[in-house]
Structure 1
């Protein structure tokens, strides 16, 4: 984590995003995408271990130091896909690779499947396809989302008396992380408020999805990917307990590497970050 990192702002036509910039100007172009409710510091351990790459680690909209979407706008997966494409356009990157963790890995696959001519390779960490739902579940799913939207006006973020309490809460939340990982995410994710600290993340990020892709839709995106794809699966991660996930990988154009660790294995400790880097460094040097 001693490598030089630059804080940048990206003024897209519809929103301003924040990002960390790593690596040499002439390095291989990579956009790094974090998971749900995380931020660009998700790559604070890993990015310095990937020499020769020009990494733009984004804060997704509504996360970290990036702006929140306008009132009435949504945080659907395809909205993030459009954001990433706009980032590449602003950077002048016609071709680029994607390094994605969890939700960031899902967004990476959707973009690579939809626009294979733009993406050179995919490096994925414990994420591949979105949660799916079948047609008969759609009315109930939309109803759930609409009710949650109505209730959002009365929902308040928790306020923590000090940073340490916020860190401890993040350690226990969805996608539990080590204390060091929680501290890194808190550096970029917390803001002072009356009474203590709260997370910068937009409350709308916790709303349920109004519509999910079917399993067939999700698989179609994976099969539409044309670039080399390497997936690191955490042995104690969220995909390891997903029913039928191993069978789902059969026949997919994805090279899978299993490593010890939890969902945030690339951030929890230096050993995990090094193991993931050792997996991805040869991958990024392939012809």
Structure 2
């Protein structure tokens, strides 16, 4: 197991992204994409257990130590997809695999569906499709997002008196995580401010999405996947209640015990996920 981790920064011109680099220099190229409001430490338990891979675990734009998008712009899914493509170009990778959790899995599917010739393997953790709307919901959705954007200037980030309080808050968030997972995310996600600590993430990440795909549009990306792929579904995660809807998709599905962050919550979950993905990457 290779436990060496290198901190790198990747200048894309329009934004600078931070990342953790794992694995042998000549390993299979993999870009790892974390979930919403997480950071590159999402893969701190899993990445060292993946064999023969050169993994670049990004802090997505607006997260962790990466830059925030300029004022007047936002965090749309196509923008994230474009960032990943530019990262690969900066690294000199013509073809590469994608490892994604939650939001990161969604970004990975969109990229692999849009430019299938670029992606060699898809390793997904409890994420597949973006949230969708009916076409008739689009005007109300955009209106909600526009008003929320106007109100953002009056909102303040929470400030925690010490790191422990921030960790406890992360543990009990909407997508709860273990103490160990919260501590790992806090290591990279907190910054000191007057009065204590707050999260580095851009406040705009919590705004409503102005435009969503319809379900047929989202499914079109999945149907266009052409590379080998494996989706890990957490028994206590987001996808398990809809497991029957995954039948017939061009992906292998593996259901494992644990919650939405099963790859980070504990070593047992990380080992189980690694076992699945090592098999996927060995079949090359």
TM-score band by shorter chain is: over 0.9
In the other structure, the counterpart of 1:267 is 264
C-alpha displacement of 1:248? 2.3
In the other structure, the counterpart of 1:114 is 114
- Once residues 221 and 2 of structure 2 are traced to their aligned partners in structure 1, the CA distance between those partners, rounded to angstroms, is 37
Are 1:246 and 2:249 an aligned pair? no
In the other structure, the counterpart of 2:187 is 187
In the other structure, the counterpart of 1:205 is 205
Structure 1: any 5+ residue segments left out of the alignment? Answer: none
- Once residues 250 and 166 of structure 1 are traced to their aligned partners in structure 2, the CA distance between those partners, rounded to angstroms, is 39
C-alpha displacement of 1:25? 0.4
- Once residues 43 and 104 of structure 2 are traced to their aligned partners in structure 1, the CA distance between those partners, rounded to angstroms, is 12
In the other structure, the counterpart of 2:252 is 255
Structure 2: any 5+ residue segments left out of the alignment? Answer: none
- Once residues 243 and 236 of structure 2 are traced to their aligned partners in structure 1, the CA distance between those partners, rounded to angstroms, is 14
- Once residues 114 and 263 of structure 1 are traced to their aligned partners in structure 2, the CA distance between those partners, rounded to angstroms, is 26
Moved over 2 A (4+): 245-248
Are 1:79 and 2:79 an aligned pair? yes
Scaled by the length of structure 1, the TM-score of the pair is 0.98
C-alpha displacement of 1:252? 1.0
Q: Deviations over 1:35-68 (max 9, x none)?
A: 0000000000000000210000000000000000
Computed over aligned residues only, the root mean square deviation of the Cα atoms, in angstroms, reads 0.9
Are 1:25 and 2:25 an aligned pair? yes
- Once residues 13 and 164 of structure 2 are traced to their aligned partners in structure 1, the CA distance between those partners, rounded to angstroms, is 37
In the other structure, the counterpart of 1:227 is 227
* Contact map agreement 2:2 2:49 (CA 8 A) in 1: no
Equivalent positions of 1:1-287 (< 5 A) are 3-241=3-241, 245-287=242-284
Scaled by the length of structure 2, the TM-score of the pair is 0.99
Aligned-partner SS, 1:121: strand
Q: Deviations over 1:230-251 (max 9, x none)?
A: 000000001123xxx2232122
